[in-house]
Amino acid sequence: MTQFIDRRPVNKNKSAVNRERFIRRYRKQIKKAVSDAISHRKVTDVDSGEKISIPSKDLHEPFFHHGREGKNTRVLPGNKEFMPGDTIARPPQGGGGSGGQASNQGEGEDDFSFTLSRDEYLDLLFEDLELPNLEKTKLNKLQKFKKVRAGFTSDGVPSNINIVRSLQKSLARRIAMQSGLKSQLEGLEKDLENETNEQAKQQIVEEIEEVKRRIAKVPFLDTYDLRYNNYRKDPVPTSQAVMFCVMDVSGSMDQNTKDIAKRFYTLLYLFLTKTYKNIEVVFIRHHTIAKEVDEEEFFYSRETGGTIVSSALHLTLDVIKERFNPSDWNIYVCQASDGDNWHDDSPKCQDLLANALLPQTQLYTYIEITKREPQSLWHHYTDLAKSNNRLVLERIEDHSAIFSTFHKIFKKKPK
């Protein structure tokens, strides 16, 4: 009887390979779950991954099984209730189904839940997308540092000790210190062989023992021999960007409209983290006047009154001038509005964009969240967008169009 024993080493990354295979196989379902999960995140929340759920019915796979052997005759009962193609309703609560009561955690027995890492989450969310106008990306050379090897030093911590270099120093020291003694020892041993006088022999033996003791006293490794890996901090060019969130908060902007804007801002922030290491976010809200606020006030504080968009553009320019030099920062502006604006203010906005803001930004995105016909601001922005590719504008009517609109703006252009 021949017996085979598998002695191949276990692959430590076996689970990682299986995970990649799972994500690749169910990419469509996972991407849908990821795009749905974006709604409950904060704009700057990208430090963690995402726990998502996929309906178990979407994970069903065909499988082989043994059939009954031989020829078989079966009689199948008919029914009076269903026709081919009908959907059978779930059993009532307490019946034979396994669904049971609904879960208060957003998932049930029919869901398969797992957690995506941060990198997996971003890769799936922004697959096939790219940032335009990256040819003018600037680098900040004073913010980030990395450790690089810089030779060896005689002082350091035990964790940085270089064993090979320390042993080399030890060997060189022992050779230097013992070579003279060993030559002296060889001479004495030759003298001992040639000497015939017993008293002289005894003296030579004592000298040999003394030389051997001196040789043995040379330590194998001395603190002088120790060498440590030396490191220094070198500045590393680090790209950085600032993202301006500009939003109309006048009386016509209800909470649902603000929620749509928040989801779009969140997508843009997450997308920027794929390219830039350091990202600042500036929140500017406006009605007839503009104000820089924190995120909580930006989305949830209520205002009344009319709308003057140019006030927000002026404030954005002031903030850029004070804190974000365009030669050091990549500037992105995303403006969200329901389209309302004083009629006489829209030409001013067009002029501010064309002559002041757009030349300093990588991209200016205008999102109009409304089901109404486009207003004057949209028409003025449209005229400007025809001659300047740094201005992109899209309309969103409801939550379902958020991701498709984002994908349309940042979809990779064919080369």
Q: What is the pLDDT of residue 129?
A: 65
Q: What is the pLDDT of residue 70?
A: 73
Rounded CA separation 206/220 (Å): 25
Rounded CA separation 364/347 (Å): 17
Residues whose CB falls within 8 Å of the CB of residue 104, separated by 6 or more in sequence, listed in order: none
Rounded CA separation 41/215 (Å): 72
Q: What is the pLDDT of residue 139?
A: 46
Helix axes 255-272, 118-125, angle to 10 degrees: 110
Continuous H helices in 63-162? 118-125
| Per-position b or e across 194-226, b if 16+ CB within 10 A of its CB | eeeeeeeeeebeebbeebeeeeeeeeeeeeebb
Q: What is the pLDDT of residue 281?
A: 93
- Residue pair 402/396 in contact by the 8 Å Cβ criterion: yes
Residues whose CB falls within 8 Å of the CB of residue 395, separated by 6 or more in sequence, listed in order: 367, 368, 369, 370, 374, 378, 405
Rounded CA separation 298/310 (Å): 18
Helix axes 198-216, 163-194, angle to 10 degrees: 180
Structure confidence by residue, pLDDT tens digits, 274-290: 778 788 999 999 888 89
Instruction: Tokens 């099984």: give the residue.
Output: 65
Residue 209's φ and ψ, nearest 5 degrees, are -60, -40
Q: What is the pLDDT of residue 263?
A: 83
Rounded CA separation 226/158 (Å): 10
Q: How many helices (H) and strands (E) does the chain have?
A: 11, 9
Structure confidence by residue, pLDDT tens digits, 124-148: 666 666 666 554 444 443 355 677 7
Residue 53's φ and ψ, nearest 5 degrees, are -125, 140
- Residue pair 106/53 in contact by the 8 Å Cβ criterion: yes
| Per-position b or e across 377-413, b if 16+ CB within 10 A of its CB | bbebbeebbeeeebbbbbbbeeeeebbebbeebbeee
Rounded CA separation 150/231 (Å): 5
Mean pLDDT by 10 residues, the chain (415 residues): 54 56 69 64 56 61 69 71 75 53 46 68 66 52 64 84 90 88 87 82 87 88 87 70 90 83 85 83 91 87 79 94 89 90 90 93 91 87 90 88 82 70
- DSSP assignment of 168-204 equals HHHHHHHHHHHHHHHHHHHHHHHHHHH---HHHHHHH
Q: What is the pLDDT of residue 181?
A: 87
